[in-house]
Structure 1
């Protein structure tokens, strides 16, 4: 297999894989979802996976059992490595098989590996001959020009997607910090109220006649200071809640698409914030 053919197979099967993912998501979610890591109509993992597997499986096309076994092993390795690398690069687990039996780190599981094996046998025996014939019919010069254009679009899409993921990570981190600050301020308000009660009880224990004047003046100053402090804390809380809500409302096209495309996405560092963001995206229309 030449490099030229390999790249064509990458795009062909990447686009076919995207079509399969969209159809599957439509059946499950009853609506169109732009599946895949990138924004464009291509799933690179399918393109790379099938193109690489074809390098090893084409010589085995006459041995159905060996074709299935080798295909299953190869696709499992590719899916596992891809999931692990994406997780380490972006701190998100894009798909998660943790709730399925015989899984490895949630990146792969036995059931889907067996299904992919069947799919690869069908590709090698039925689909690839058609794809191969179609690639051969494209004039080499035209094919090279198309590949350059497709590669340029893919690289641009990759840049936009990675930038969007980094923005999503920063957003989750900022939301996490605001939530922590709100918790601290809430604790301070509670402590202030507790101190107010304790101070009042302490004053009441003092001799009423001897400290009536001092008590009245002291209580007045104490209440003024507590009201002022509480007002500042409540203003700070309100400002933080406003910033938090603005982050929830802000629509990032890439981030919003990824949340829909990968409903089982797991965040290694900000899972609680990611869950809240996914729930908010499901229950309310995103707006600018």
Structure 2
């Protein structure tokens, strides 16, 4: 049952993280942006971050708000750093780059985001998790099994679809010299969500081609507005 509870907490905090990312990115853009690596309303990196923060704090018995702030920000930043390295290694892609911000480490993490993660860690430990924990302990075993199973199934389906989307993006970038084919509206729409969600997206192999694809999508969006 402990493992099923972990899945439940992971799903809940992945969803909360997605909400935070959508708000953070949609307000400046003045439009809704599905800011997530996956297609669904989840940001797994927040789920992993929350789980590590919760259980490490419990393991070393940290209760001081200041220490939660410091260690929470540190833990979340380490996870963000590792996640960026893994994405670059597996998909040859970087979804964010903080090189233009002060006090960044190789563009993978920066002081501003680490501070925001630290604040979220305090809110998580002091307010959100006790509330979520109180709700989960009231659920019956069968309810937890059903909800956790559904979360796993939906997550795996979403992961497969997203991986396919990233692979298709790599194929598109590899064949960017065939511009007449790429300009087809359907082809552009296939990558619009991903490009729009991560405007700082970088590719290890096809940076020049990615830049061209961004320009084509931007041009396509302008033409659609004129129609």
TM-score by length of 2: 0.91
Instruction: Give the equivalent residue in structure 1 for 2:107.
Output: 106
Tell me whether 1:267 sits opposite 2:200 in the alignment: no
Larger helix fraction of residues = 1
Measure, in 2, the Cα distance between the counterparts of 1:283 and 1:140.
52
- Secondary structure, counterpart of 1:119 in structure 2: helix
Q: Deviations over 1:79-124 (max 9, x none)?
A: 1000110011111111111111221121111221122111101110
Q: Structure 1 residues 147, 254: closer, same or farther in 2, change over 3 A?
A: farther
For the structure 1 residues 281 and 111, does the alpha-carbon distance in structure 2 shift closer, same or farther, using more than 3 Å as the test? Answer: same
Cα pair 2:188 2:217 within 8 Å, conserved: no
The alignment status of 1:248 with 2:186, answered yes or no, reads no
Q: The residue matched to 2:98 in structure 1 has which SS?
A: coil
8 Å Cα contact 1:94/1:262 also seen in 2: yes
* Map of 2:131 onto structure 1: 130
**1:137 Cα deviation after fit:** 2.1
Cα distance change, pair 274–174 in 1 and its aligned pair in 2 (3 A): same
Given that 1:60 and 1:67 are in contact with CA atoms closer than 8 Å, whether structure 2 keeps it comes out as no
User: Are positions 1:70 and 2:6 aligned together?
Assistant: no
| Structure 2 partner of 1:278 | 214
Residue 17 in 1 paired to residue 11 in 2? no
Match of 1:212 in 2: none
Q: Which runs of 5 or more structure 1 residues have no equivalent in the other structure?
A: 179-242
Which entry has the higher C-alpha Rg, 1 or 2?
A: 1
Find the residue that maps to 2:31 and give its secondary structure: coil
C-alpha distance in 2, partners of 1:66/1:145? 36
Please say if 1:57 is aligned against 2:57.
Answer: yes
- Match of residue 139 from structure 1: 140
Q: CA deviation at 1:253?
A: 5.2
- How big is each residue's C-alpha offset from its partner over 1:246-281, in whole Å with a ceiling of 9 and x where there is no partner? 213243655221101101111111112111211221
Deviates more, 1:120-129 or 1:65-74: 65-74
Q: CA RMSD in A?
A: 1.8
Give the structure-1-normalised TM-score.
0.72
Distance (whole Å) between structure 1 residues aligned to residue 12 and residue 214 of structure 2: 32
Classify the secondary structure of the residue corresponding to 2:200.
coil
In structure 2, the residue corresponding to 1:35 is in which secondary structure? coil
Task: Determine the C-alpha separation between the residues in 2 that align with 1:75 and 1:42.
Answer: 17
Whether the 8 Å contact between 1:18 and 1:42 is mirrored in structure 2 is: yes
For residues 1-288 of structure 1, the aligned pairs below 5 Å read 2-58=2-58, 60-175=61-176, 178=177, 243-249=178-184, 250-251=186-187, 255-285=191-221
After TM superposition, the runs of 4+ consecutive aligned structure 1 residues lying more than 3 A away are 58-61
Query: 1:284 aligns to what SS in structure 2?
Result: helix
Aligned residues between the structures:
221
Q: Structure 2: how far apart are the matches of 1:149 and 1:246?
A: 39
Deviations 1:36-92 (A, max 9, x none): 100011111011110121001236453122222211211111010001100111111
3-state SS of 1:31 partner: coil
